[in-house]
């Protein structure tokens, strides 16, 4: 957990928020130690605080609608940079775009998704360089931008909306089933650590109370991370309920008959 220091708690908090490039509303802040003035220069201590991004993952309808409105007006752009060399489709006339964007092979579908995400970021006034990486069974689209806060959004809402729309897009245009993840900076890596802690705290609560716990809606791959973290606990079982993008995970005790 990152720890920041300052002559006052407020100064330490400002340093931490600036380093993480987030606002106070997007952070979980804990004052570990208040500043001490000391006496005649002896015993003076800085304030110490810990700061990390909030774990809240509710994807609001307003955020999803905002991004969908952007997509409706978006047109494919001419260039995109990806980590791997992808074959860019030849330009097509406007009437045939819908016909082309269906039943595409993997590389063509991924290229179209990269173009799609590039255009979204421009429309959101946070232009990003789109890079693609393959990680195990996932394909990660990394959005490199000077405005990370805009694309992540409060509590990660905008990034989750982009994640949902990217998955819907790839399912519509790709011939094969592909799993993609949209990331900004190291947000997903930090989220994974947070989700693992959330999984353990939730499991402890379920075993202590004997009652199921209903988690906030989150993307499918994050639900899988929590499921995987709890899969070896014989006293716990998990399943998902609801419809995307509001599908959520239920953690409950295993009933013994």
Which residue, among 113, 108, 115, has the nearest Cα to 79 in the 3D structure? 115
Q: If we measure between CA atoms, which residue out of 222, 244, 220 comes closest to residue 61?
A: 244
Nearest to residue 195, comparing CAs of 166, 172, 224? 224
**Residue written as token pair 């379920």:** 206
Sheet of 180-184: strands edge to edge? 128-135, 138-145, 180-184
CB 56 within 8 A of CB 216: yes
What is the pLDDT averaged over residues 191-219? 90
**Domain 189-253, CATH homologous superfamily name and number:** R3H-like domain (3.30.1370.50)
CB atoms within 10 A of CB 209: 10
pLDDT 10s digits, 15-33: 888 887 777 766 778 788 8
Q: CB 123: neighbour CB atoms within 10 A?
A: 16
Residue 65 region by backbone torsions, left for phi larger than 0, else alpha for psi between -120 and 50, else beta: alpha
Q: What are phi and psi of 52, to 5 degrees?
A: -150, 155
pLDDT > 90? residue 157: no
For the chain, domain boundaries: 3-53, 61-185, 189-253
Q: Cα 169 to chain center, whole Å?
A: 17
Mean model confidence pLDDT for the chain: 79
pLDDT band at residue 60 under the 50/70/90 scheme: very low
- Which residues, listed in sequence order, are joined to residue 182 by a DSSP beta bridge? 141
* pLDDT(163) > 70: yes
Question: What pLDDT sits at residue 207?
Answer: 93
> Each residue of 95-139: pLDDT tens digit?
334 445 678 889 999 999 999 999 999 988 899 999 999 887 789
Which pLDDT belongs to residue 39? 67
Could you give the CA distance from residue 216 to residue 222 in angstroms, rounded to a whole number?
A: 11
Distance of CA 103 to the CA centre of its chain: 28
User: Could you say which architecture CATH assigns to the domain 61-185?
Assistant: 2-Layer Sandwich (3.30)
The torsion angles phi and psi of 61, rounded to 5 degrees, stand at -60, -35
Which H or E run includes 172? helix 157-173
Tokens of 164: 């949902």
């Amino acid at each position: 957990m990152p720890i920041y220091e300052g002559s006052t708690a407020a100064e330490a908090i400002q340093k931490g928020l600036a380093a993480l490039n987030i606002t106070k509303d997007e952070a979980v802040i804990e004052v570990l130690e208040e500043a001490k003035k000391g006496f005649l220069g002896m015993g003076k201590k800085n304030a110490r605080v810990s700061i990390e991004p909030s774990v809240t993952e509710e994807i609001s309808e307003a955020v999803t609608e905002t991004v969908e409105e952007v997509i409706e007006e978006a047109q494919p752009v001419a260039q995109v940079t990806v980590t791997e060399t992808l074959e860019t489709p030849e330009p097509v006339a406007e009437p045939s775009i819908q016909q082309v964007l269906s039943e595409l092979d993997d590389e063509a579908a991924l290229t179209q998704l990269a173009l799609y995400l590039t255009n979204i970021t421009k429309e959101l006034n946070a232009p990003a360089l789109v890079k693609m990486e393959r990680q195990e069974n996932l394909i990660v689209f990394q959005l490199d931008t000077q405005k990370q806060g805009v694309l992540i959004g409060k509590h990660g809402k905008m990034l989750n909306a982009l994640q949902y729309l990217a998955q819907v897009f790839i399912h519509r245009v790709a011939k094969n089933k592909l799993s993609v993840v949209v990331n900004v900076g190291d947000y997903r890596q930090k989220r994974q650590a947070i989700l693992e802690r959330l999984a353990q705290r939730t499991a402890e609560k379920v075993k202590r109370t004997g009652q199921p716990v209903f988690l906030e809606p989150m993307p499918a791959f994050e639900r899988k991370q929590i499921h995987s973290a709890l899969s070896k606990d014989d006293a716990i079982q998990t399943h998902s309920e609801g419809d995307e993008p509001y599908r959520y995970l239920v953690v409950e005790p295993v009933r013994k008959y």
